[in-house]
Amino acid sequence: MRNLKFLIIEGNTAEVRETVKTHFKHDPGVDFGHTLQKLAPNSEFDVCYGADLNHKTPTYKEIRGYDGAVIGGSALNAPKGEPESERQITIAREIYRAGIPFYGSCWGLQMATLAAGGKVASAKGGREVGQAHAVRRLKSDHPLLAGKRDVYYAIAVHSDEVSAIPPDADLLAENDHTPVQALEIRHEEGVFWGVQYHPEYSLNHLSGILRRIGDQLIGEGFFRGEADLDSYATDLATLYQDPSRRDLAWRYGISRDVINDDFRTRELSNWIEHAVRPAAH
């Protein structure tokens, strides 16, 4: 059995990636790759920097050489129509055309939606950050959500959302904040599975992200000031290091769905086992 090979489209600009490195020592595209390697041991990955306008994008033939393609998160905003966004929509179209298994988290869901003819807009309810609360499964038999509870929680950080799904798509999950939390899209030769939240993010990732965008969060009223934000971010990192800290989980209402790595990453492992491996073999 040969090793799987993934193509990861990293959606952040070089400036944002440098900021992320201060918290995680490497860029988010590489970090996503490491998460996939934990779920698919001995797998390999390449990172394409989709927001770098001078960075080479993979050709159709090159994309066909991968077992699966992933688009993760980004600090960009698709409704603004920036060149860095449009470039990634073009890459998503090529992935569909290549017909390999396609997955996206958050920004990745939005790019795949736009590439297939759907729409993305600023979230009507404002930013969803921390946990996506009470996400409801709408297709109990879909393999992307196999093993998830009928109502579950997930780590989320987004201010845009899918406002209209593409023509040939199935809505898989929703919650009261965000009408599209999980989606399957069939477009051209490809099938995309994606979610608006972040199965690849741990509480430690979330802690770092909150610190990185802290000024915005304070301005939007999520925290009363830097001390408030620092206390919360520190406690999240502590809970990540010691999941037995029931006091912290209770204080902040943190679900086992995001504390337990197996629950948290289930969508990714399901995509690998139900979409990637069957196509590769």
Give kind and range of the element (H or E) at residue 37. helix 28-39
Distance CA(228)–CA(224), nearest Å, equals: 6
Number of C-alpha atoms within 13 angstroms, CB side, residue 80? 9
Set 106, 174, 184, 267: catalytic member: 106
| 111, 92 Cβ separation under 8 angstroms | yes
How far lies 220's CA from each of 14, 144, 160, 215, in Å?
Answer: 25, 33, 15, 9
Most distant CA pair in the chain: distance in Å? 54
Distance CA(224)–CA(178), nearest Å, equals: 25
Set 158, 187, 198, 205: catalytic member: 198
Set 187, 200, 205, 267: catalytic member: 200
For tokens 């809970």, name the residue: 239
267 is a catalytic site residue: no
- C-alpha dihedral over 14, 20, 25, 27, to 10 degrees? -50
48 is a catalytic site residue: no
Distance CA(180)–CA(161), nearest Å, equals: 7
Residues designated as active site: 106, 198, 200
